[in-house]
Amino acid sequence: MAVRCAAALCALLLLSISGLALSDAPPSTPVSPSAACNATTDPTFCRSVLPPRGKGDLYTYGRFSVSESLAGARKFAALVDRYLARHRHLSPSAIGALRDCQLMAELNVDFLSAAGATIRDTDTLLDPQANDVHTLLSAILTNQQTCFDGLQAASAAWSDRGGLDAPIANGTKLYSLSLSLFTRAWVPTAKKAGHSHKGGGGGKGGGHHGHGGKHKKPPARRGLFDVTDDEVVRRMAIEGPERTVAVNTVVTVDQSGAGNFTTVGDAVAAAPRNLDGSGGYYLIYVLAGVYEENVMVPKHSKYIMMVGDGIGQTVITGNRSVIDGWTTFQSATFAVVGQGFVAMNMTFRNTAGPAKHQAVALRSGADLSAFYSCSFEAFQDTLYTHSLRQFYRGCDVYGTVDYVFGNAAVVFQGCTFYSRLPMQGQSNTVTAQGRSDPNQNTGTSIQGCALVPAPELAANTAFTTLTYLGRPWKNFSRTVVMESYVGGLVNPAGWMPWSGDFALDTLYYAEYNNTGPGADTSRRVAWPGYHVLGDGTDARNFTVTSMVLGDNWLPQTGVPFTSGLLS
């Protein structure tokens, strides 16, 4: 069977085995390590890792690679710890970058341990297990890239960084190998179960979608519950916006001192460790007020639900920025890592301003995190959808440059993206998606949303601001805008290059069934990676069901969602 493969994309060469391509053969088919490596993203590196005289199948090699990755992650974590122990000799920017690397390394050890435990004793994984492992292996590459980016940004003030460059590069190759072998061996089984996470498909089409439809408004905002009897709420489930939400404990944050805590950070710090969600959420009710604090929800603070009194009523605000010495990662006013986090009826804000460049309002690297009826307000890099699986419903996002960025598998539904007035000479880019490996199951899906100018941009006539749907932050950047209202502020080209022809043939950008004056695709970019989807077949890959497996975990959050296409 003749197979044609784009070498520039990922060097996914297919080897013929007994008349079958390796990708068509059962993963349990015995194959030499060298032959197995031909189906990976870097065959030469793969052959240097797998035992040369070994004989096994793709499952065997996948387990071996994950085990090697875990050993490498532990060594790298120890190396970062040693660098930090010499912190008196390092600049503040270097220390900040190393602390980011420290967290990323710890998470990678956790993720690889969990992935290895799942695949250790079985050759058969169906969703959600297969998607869980695929998500974890995708996230370790994102974490590694975050570490590298931070160190690179700090390199001007740090001459002693060289000892980390080679371990980071080798770790990235090893993690990519683990992800590649896993997708070859286990993901096809999951796809047979009816869930596809493939980002390709859909040739580039012509023409445009209609402009006469109305923007689908997000659902009306409403309070989640009325805290009138804490004991009743503790003992009984509370009624969420869509369905009953199980709650284990309720605490209140009130600046007047009438609640359990006066700061959000203290309420988070008091949360029990490592809840699994089966016994309900630790619910933090944050009364109306402006809370000037930077909050971090750590990895062991799982299944926290945070509910405010509404957008603009309950506000968490800070002003950290890259210009003031923080890494982009650490600039977040609110950051969450703990799995299962849910926020409702709140505003997250960074007031650093456009002149301070990267300044994040909220960063989420929390798997199975959801945000409902929240607003995220800043300028450059407002919302950092860092990694893992996330969902946003009925939210408002305000920003200028790359104001939704990161490498999570994330779906926005019924949200409004407000492009603000940037500094003179800047263009607005709504998204900057950071997928760096072709096997990552990540991407940004914008469904049933509105992309419109913020009031100050709409009112300004002093200079013309160009606004684009997105630009490719990393090589395999993947973003889809579908069933949404695209305002006239969006440039007819739609998408903006990052630098020259970087990633234009490896990215995946697509539009499907959008409306509004900016939805005309007849003058869009002519990049190889850009697609106009003619029907819903490929668009379904970017719905809640397929992109984040939301049917499995969103019901318990109480956040409303639509599983598939809207029409």
402 is catalytic: yes
How do the residues of the chain divide into helix, strand and coil, expressed in percent and rounded to 5?
Answer: 30, 20, 50
The rounded Cα 112 to chain-centroid distance in angstroms is: 18
Pair type for strands 485-486 and 478-482: unpaired
106: which residues sit within 8 A by CB, 6+ positions away? 77, 299
Task: Out of 132, 396, 402, 520, pick the active-site residue.
Answer: 402
Element (H, E) at 447: strand 443-447
Question: In angstroms, rounded to a whole number, what is the distance separating the alpha carbons of residues 281 and 245?
Answer: 8
Question: In angstroms, rounded to a whole number, what is the distance separating the alpha carbons of residues 479 and 442?
Answer: 9
What tokens were used for 379? 């300028």
Q: The dihedral of CA 485, 491, 493, 499: what is its sign?
A: negative
Question: In angstroms, rounded to a whole number, what is the distance separating the alpha carbons of residues 25 and 328?
Answer: 44
For residues 137 and 115, the answer to whether their CB atoms sit within 8 Å is: yes
For residues 339 and 303, the answer to whether their CB atoms sit within 8 Å is: yes
Phi-psi region of 289 (alpha: psi -120 to 50; beta: other; left: phi over 0): left
**10 Å Cβ neighbour count for 230?**
14
Q: Hey, is 168 helix, strand or coil?
A: helix
**Alpha-carbon distances, residue 189 vs 56, 194, 362, 479, 517 (angstroms):** 19, 9, 36, 25, 42
202: which residues sit within 8 A by CB, 6+ positions away? 510, 531, 532, 533, 534, 537, 538
Q: Which residues are catalytic?
A: 402
